[in-house]
């Protein structure tokens, strides 16, 4: 299947989900007023990917800001990953946060406590 | 006498104001405000932590105004732009900011909102975290994309109480204003 990619904007992140190597990336800002429009294609894409995932799927999430509207859609993305993980395929979510950004670290830990997928918290040191 | 918006706006505009706005809250306006405030915060070289918190709270405050603004009745349309809202961001002192927002609200919705804010204000840090996670995991997004998480997130990120008042405008409408300190 084709990779799905979006160029980042002032309110939406750069996205690249590549089924060929199982490396998925979400990077930048996610603060649209209506996040459903933005995330729906990603969730649909993941439904397809879940039918024949790679042995290992690595998900790199490096968000500078995200709003509460996006937080639910990000959870939906993670729930799809949880399904893949339950199907005995390895999934890891690398959650990046900037040095001293305790709010972003805590946001990652919130997801980690809800979603049964291994998380790795990675501090970006400048 | 009904609530005087101009007087209210004038009073908010005292001190070190980064940005003050009263008119329609649109998606483009939100983008512009965020850009302006972000640039000003950069110039002031505040701590990265405070800059991020101000930005986050501003995003949620503006999007609350955008999603929850009540349509005004016809007779108020002459005096106010559609989706009328007020936003003032001011600097209290180094690394301390005040974000004030205001909008019209139908009197029938006051109780729901007041109960929600009072509940949020009564919770400890740990309880707020639990409430956030519960809503995140159990409540569906509205068609407009609102998730009922904005106020909880603001309280959680600032660690401060949400100050608010409802001022009577006419029989049916009140003006809801909220102030939050980010530090």
Which of the pair, A46 or B147, is modelled with greater confidence? A46
How many Cβ pairs closer than 8 A exist between chain A and B?
Answer: 74
A125 shares contact with chain B (CB less than 8 Å): no
pLDDT at position B166: 96
Mutate to test the interface with B, among A9, A10, A29, A33 (most CBs of B within 10 A): A33
pLDDT at position B145: 60
Contacting residues for B129 by C-beta, under 8 A, at least 6 apart: A106, A110, B156
Q: Are A49 and A20 in contact (CB under 8 A)?
A: no
CB-nearest to A71 from B35, B49, B149 is B149
* Contact between chains at A34 and B153 (C-beta distance less than 8 A): no
pLDDT higher than 90, residue B21: yes
- Whole-model pTM: value is 0.94
B46 shares contact with chain A (CB less than 8 Å): no
When pLDDT is averaged across residues B81-90 and rounded to a whole number, the result is 92
Q: Which tokens belong to B9?
A: 């706006």
Tell me: the pLDDT tens digits for A40-96?
A: 999 999 999 999 999 999 999 999 999 999 999 999 999 999 999 999 899 999 999
Which of the pair, B17 or B70, is modelled with greater confidence? B17
Cα separation, B177 vs B102, whole angstroms: 4
When pLDDT is averaged across residues A33-40 and rounded to a whole number, the result is 93
Domain boundaries, chain B: 5-108+161-182
Contacting residues for A98 by C-beta, under 8 A, at least 6 apart: A64, A104, A123, A124, A126, B48
The 3-state DSSP class for residue B127 equals helix
pLDDT at position B125: 96
Q: Are B47 and B25 in contact (CB under 8 A)?
A: no
- The helix or strand, by DSSP H or E, that contains position A22, with its residue range, turns out to be none
pLDDT at position A28: 97
B69 shares contact with chain A (CB less than 8 Å): no
Best CATH choice for the domain B5-108+161-182 from the list 3.90.1460, 3.40.1000, 3.30.565, 1.10.3470: 3.30.565
Taking contacts as CB-CB distances below 8 angstroms, the residues of chain A near B157 are 103
B150 shares contact with chain A (CB less than 8 Å): yes
Sign for the pseudo-dihedral over CA of A16, A19, A20, A23: positive
pLDDT higher than 70, residue B53: yes
pLDDT at position A3: 96
Buried residues in B58-90 as b, exposed as e (16+ CB within 10 A): bbbbbbbbbbbbbebeeeeeeeeeebbbbbbbb
B49 shares contact with chain A (CB less than 8 Å): yes
pLDDT at position B143: 65
Q: Are B70 and B108 in contact (CB under 8 A)?
A: no
Name the band, by pLDDT with cuts 50, 70 and 90, for residue A100. Answer: confident
pLDDT at position A76: 96
Name the band, by pLDDT with cuts 50, 70 and 90, for residue B2. Answer: confident
When pLDDT is averaged across residues B90-109 and rounded to a whole number, the result is 94
pLDDT higher than 80, residue B76: no
CA distances from B15 to A89, B43, B89 (A): 58, 18, 10
B159 shares contact with chain A (CB less than 8 Å): no
A6 shares contact with chain B (CB less than 8 Å): no
According to DSSP, residue A117 is labeled S
Taking contacts as CB-CB distances below 8 angstroms, the residues of chain B near A110 are 129, 132-133, 136
CB-nearest to A114 from B52, B56, B137 is B137
Mutate to test the interface with A, among B57, B59, B66 (most CBs of A within 10 A): B59
* Contact between chains at A68 and B60 (C-beta distance less than 8 A): yes
Catalogue the E-assigned strands of B115-169. Answer: 163-168
Phi then psi for A8, rounded to 5 degrees? Answer: -70, 150
So what's the ipTM on this one? 0.94
Catalogue the E-assigned strands of chain B. Answer: 16-24, 84-93, 96-106, 163-168, 173-182
pLDDT at position B146: 65
* Contact between chains at A72 and B136 (C-beta distance less than 8 A): yes
When pLDDT is averaged across residues B83-106 and rounded to a whole number, the result is 94
Nearest to A33 by CA among B6, B106, B83: B83
Nearest to A30 by CA among A7, A9, A16: A9
Name the band, by pLDDT with cuts 50, 70 and 90, for residue B82. Answer: confident
Q: Which tokens belong to B158?
A: 């600032």
Q: Which tokens belong to B85?
A: 């809202």
Name the band, by pLDDT with cuts 50, 70 and 90, for residue B153. Answer: very high
Mean pLDDT of chain A: 96
Domain boundaries, chain A: 4-124
Question: The tokens 């918190």 sit on which residue?
Answer: B53
Nearest to A83 by CA among A59, A121, A53: A53
* Contact between chains at B35 and A10 (C-beta distance less than 8 A): yes
Task: Give the architecture-level CATH label for domain A4-124.
Answer: 2-Layer Sandwich (3.30)
């Amino acid at each position: 299947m084709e990779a799905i990619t979006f160029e980042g904007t002032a309110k939406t992140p750069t996205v690249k989900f590549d089924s060929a190597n199982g490396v998925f990336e979400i990077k930048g800002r996610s603060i649209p007023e209506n996040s459903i429009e933005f995330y729906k294609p990603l969730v649909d894409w993941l439904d397809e990917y879940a039918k024949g995932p790679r042995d290992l799927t690595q998900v790199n999430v490096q968000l500078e800001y995200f709003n509460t509207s996006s937080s639910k859609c990000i959870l939906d993305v993670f729930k799809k990953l949880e399904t893949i993980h339950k199907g005995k395929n390895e999934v890891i979510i690398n959650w990046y946060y900037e040095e001293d950004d305790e709010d972003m670290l805590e946001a990652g830990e919130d997801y980690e406590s809800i979603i049964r997928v291994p998380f790795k918290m990675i501090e970006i040191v400048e | 006498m009904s609530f005087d918006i101009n007087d209210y706006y004038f009073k908010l505009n005292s001190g070190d104001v980064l940005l003050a706005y009263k008119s329609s809250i649109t998606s483009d306006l939100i983008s512009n405000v965020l850009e302006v405030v972000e640039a000003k915060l950069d110039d002031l070289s505040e701590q990265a932590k405070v800059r991020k918190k101000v930005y986050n709270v501003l995003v949620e405050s503006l999007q609350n105004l955008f999603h929850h603004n009540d349509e005004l009745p016809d007779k108020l349309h002459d005096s106010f732009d559609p989706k009328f809202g007020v936003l003032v961001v001011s600097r209290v002192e180094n690394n301390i900011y005040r974000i004030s927002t205001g909008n019209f609200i139908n009197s029938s919705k006051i109780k729901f909102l007041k109960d929600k804010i009072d509940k949020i204000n009564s919770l400890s840090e740990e309880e707020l975290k639990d409430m956030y996670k519960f809503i995140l995991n159990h409540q569906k997004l509205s068609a407009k994309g609102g998730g009922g998480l904005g106020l909880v997130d603001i309280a959680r990120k600032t660690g401060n109480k949400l100050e608010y008042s409802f001022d009577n405008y006419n029989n049916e409408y009140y003006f809801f204003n909220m102030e939050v300190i980010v530090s």
